[in-house]
Chain A
Amino acid sequence: MKTKMFASMLVIALAAALVGGATMALFTDQDTNEGNVFTAGTVDIEAGETSIIVGADNMAPGDTVTGSFVVTNVGTLELRYDVSALGSGDLFAGATPAVVEALGDDQNVVLAPGASATVTFTVHLPLGADNSYQGAAGLVDFTIAAEQTANNP
């Protein structure tokens, strides 16, 4: 009888504590390191104007003309670039089209931020070009594809 009474009192006490909002607490603290700046770099390459190509406006079969343009790394990361060329128009079509070819390195060229390099190229009209190419014109588009060199073997 005495045990039952004690148990009942304990239950009542616990219930009262819960109703009264009794909570467990611990001492805690926190501190913060603020203002951490993570500036992401940029890969940004810029191609300048193509230099005047002497004879490009009056090519004869067998002619080779040379031109160049400057590429500059205007980003904040070191980069490497590849150059590719695509000719369009009558001069670059048909059986014996004109051929564009880069001189020197045009693949995997590394440029530091702010640095520039010159891309030199030739356009050659094969000697076998027939009369169908007389007066033909064409355009060449150069694509410079760049990527970061860091962590990029």
Chain B
Amino acid sequence: MRSKLILGLAVIIIVASVGAGVTLAIFTDQDYNSENIFSAGTVDIAADRNLGDPIPGPMFYTTVEQGTVPDGGDALNPTGVWWPGRTEYRNLDVRNMGSLQVRINRVSAEITSINGADPQPPLSESFAANMHVKIYVAGHPQTKILYEGSLANLLTIQDCIHKPVIAPFTNLWPPMVQLVYEVTMLPQAGNDLQGIVPIVSFSVYAEQTKNNP
């Protein structure tokens, strides 16, 4: 009976307080740890020919004029014309311009034109089938091969057999790996290829190595 009385009084007091506009308050505070910086790293590679030629420019060019860069000096390594059985080597320096360690994981090629026009079969197919491409890390032609096969297969992106790793660019010079492109016109190439002038692009692809087994 006594408890009921106390409860009734408490309810009356609370209702009276609310009715009179009395407010309840508690002490509070908050603080911030602001401006936390989260910079995403970058994967950024640059691929340029070497052997002393000015850059940018193609690795393989028939005449000096084709390989010369405007205001960059003359090209030094024209191949001249190709014939069945001929092999030529050119270097491609792949530099890591980004802030993350990368690996070269894929390579590809594209025939962009033949005789100044869009490549058309059967000539483009014959050319691609009769050109053999081997890509390897300079100095390691037997052990660090990225790709070896026909240009025809390289026209679709190929996963590298060996995937060279390049450290991130942290100091004065970007770390690099030098690739060798060994290209052969196969001995069985036929007369249909005589005198043709195909133009080819070679691409390299890189990916982050972190969290990427």
Q: Is the CB of A33 within 8 A of B86?
A: no
Residues on A facing B (Cβ under 8 Å): 26-44, 76-77, 148, 150-152
**Residue from B45, B85, B112, B212 in contact with A34 in the complex, judged by beta carbons closer than 8 Å:** B112
Q: Per-residue 0/1 for B4-29: is the Cβ within 8 Å of any A Cβ (1 yes, 0 no)?
A: 00000000000000000000000000
Q: Is the CB of A28 within 8 A of B198?
A: no
Q: Please give the distance in Å from B108's CB to the nearest CB on chain A.
A: 9
**Residue from A27, A33, A43 in contact with B194 in the complex, judged by beta carbons closer than 8 Å:** A43
**Residue from B49, B85, B207 in contact with A26 in the complex, judged by beta carbons closer than 8 Å:** B207
Chain B residues 32 to 87 lying within 8 A of chain A, measured CB to CB, are 40-49, 57-62, 66, 79-86
Chain B residues 75 to 104 lying within 8 A of chain A, measured CB to CB, are 79-86, 92, 94, 98, 100, 102
- Count, A-B residue pairs, CB within 8 A: 128
Q: Is the CB of A28 within 8 A of B207?
A: yes
CB nearest neighbor in A for B187: A151
| Residues in A whose Cβ lies below 8 Å from that of B206 | 28-30
Residues on B facing A (Cβ under 8 Å): 40-49, 57-62, 66, 79-86, 92, 94, 98, 100, 102, 112, 127, 131, 183, 185, 187, 189, 193-208, 212
| Residues in A whose Cβ lies below 8 Å from that of B80 | 41
- The contact sample of 8 A-B pairs, CB cut-off 8 A, is A27-B40, A28-B205, A28-B206, A33-B202, A36-B199, A36-B201, A40-B193, A40-B195
Bound form: Cα–Cα A76–B62 in Å:
12
Q: Is the CB of B60 within 8 A of A36?
A: yes
Q: Is the CB of A33 within 8 A of B197?
A: no
Bound form: Cα–Cα A152–B187 in Å:
9
Q: Please give the distance in Å from A22's CB to the nearest CB on chain B.
A: 16
**Residue from B44, B47, B83 in contact with A41 in the complex, judged by beta carbons closer than 8 Å:** B83
